[in-house]
Amino acid sequence: MSITITMGIQKGGCGKSTTTGILAHLLSKDYKVLAIDLDSQGNLTELLSGQVSNDFVGNSVLEAMEYHDIPSYLHTISDTLDLLPANNFLATFARWLYTGKTYQGERIPYKGSPSLVLDKALNPIRENYDFILIDTPPSLSEQTTNALCASDYVVVMYECSNWCYSAIPNFLDSVGGAKENGERSTEVIGILRTMNDVRRTDAKAFNELIEEDYPDLIFKTIITRKAPVGRLSLYGFQDNKELNQVISQYYAFYKELLNRVQNR
């Protein structure tokens, strides 16, 4: 059975793309994985492909959704990992949804629910994969609602800071909205504390606060701020001498997530 998981939070720079990329890498060792970049920044695209996101203009998740045709826009990373890439033109997604006009000037009117474009496009190909992972932008935009409505589970990314703390309730409301209005079960599988700076007392406080607020949702693993993880955006997954250090940061979380998903 195929399982779809979104990494999300509307606060920027909380480790969504990094975590999605590392999870895709780890899962693809044992499973067939599709990674979907739903952020016009194209960070997941660049991380997994090792190419610039502009290389995928005209061949991206945007066109896959507009033409309701995912297979034609898949980019192969390995035998077990496919990528649906993104680039800056994904910023025109909402304009297409509400006007039917693509950024290339074509008319492809869309009449369905604006939040179910991705879900409907994924349905014919879901069973080709064990896991589908979705990276989202730092906003509660149409891309995010589409990701949530297309997902069985959501990992809430929590960088241990005040502004991320205040983003959590609205994000959880959006997950609830997706469950209510979408056609999948969409539930939070856990809250992941990321980019934790162990030397900062405020980070420690926000670390503890979130655990008190959501004791059943919080993952035990805390991802600390470490240079090799930060440099993953530079070195990627091929010939990266620091990759073992990156994996060791994330492995316990990976196991925790897998365990939760498999025991639902």
Nearest residue to the partner ligand ATP, using Cβ: 230
Q: Of the ranges 35-43, 77-85, 178-186, 207-215, which one interacts with ligand ATP (CB under 6 A)?
A: 35-43
- Number of Cβ within 10 Å of residue 226's Cβ equals 15
25 binds ligand ATP per the rule CB under 6 A: no
Backbone φ, ψ for residue 91 (5° rounding): -65, -15
From the list Mg ion, ligand ATP, none, pick the one residue 12 interacts with, judged by a Cβ distance below 5 to 8 Å according to partner type: ligand ATP
Q: Cβ 223 to Mg ion, closest distance in Å?
A: 15
Q: State which of residues 3, 4, 5, 14 lies at the interface with ligand ATP (CB under 6 A).
A: 14
Whose CA is closest to 34, among 46, 23, 42? 23
Q: Tell me the CA distances in angstroms from 253 to 89, 136, 248, 249, one per residue in order.
A: 33, 19, 10, 8
Distance separating alpha carbons of residues 38 and 222, to the nearest angstrom: 25
Least separation in angstroms between CB 1 and Mg ion: 28
- Shortest Å distance, C-beta 157 to ligand ATP: 6
DSSP string covering 164-214: HHHHHHHHHHHHHHHHHHSSS--EEEEEEEEEE-TT-HHHHHHHHHHHHH-
Among 2, 13, 31, 120, interactor with ligand ATP by CB under 6 A: 13
Taking the least distance from each CB to ligand ATP, the nearer of 77 and 156 is 156
Least CB distance from residue 194 to ligand ATP, whole Å? 6
Contact flags string 143-182 toward ligand ATP, x per CB under 6 A: --------------x-------------------------
84 scored as a contact of ligand ATP (CB under 6 A):
no
The only residue of 3, 4, 6, 18 in contact with ligand ATP, by rule CB under 6 A: 18
Site for ligand ATP in 110-149 (CB under 6 A): 138
| Interior angle at CA 4, CA 78 and CA 144, nearest 5 | 105
Amino acid code (one letter) for 218: I
Q: Which residue is nearest to Mg ion (CB)?
A: 17
The option from Mg ion, ligand ATP, none interacting with 119 (CB < 5 to 8 A, set by class) reads none
C-beta separation of 61 from 84 below 8 A: yes
Binding interface with Mg ion (CB under 5 A): 16-17, 43
Select from 23, 74, 229, 257 the one that contacts ligand ATP (CB under 6 A): 229
DSSP classification of residue 106: -
Q: Which two tokens stand for residue 125?
A: 């190909």
DSSP class per residue in 29-79: TTS-EEEEE--TT-HHHHHHHSS-GGGGTTSSHHHHHHTT-SGGG-EEEET
Distance of CA 148 to the CA centre of its chain: 10
Given the rule CB under 6 A, which residues bind ligand ATP? 12-18, 39, 41, 43, 138, 157, 195, 223, 225-226, 229-230, 233
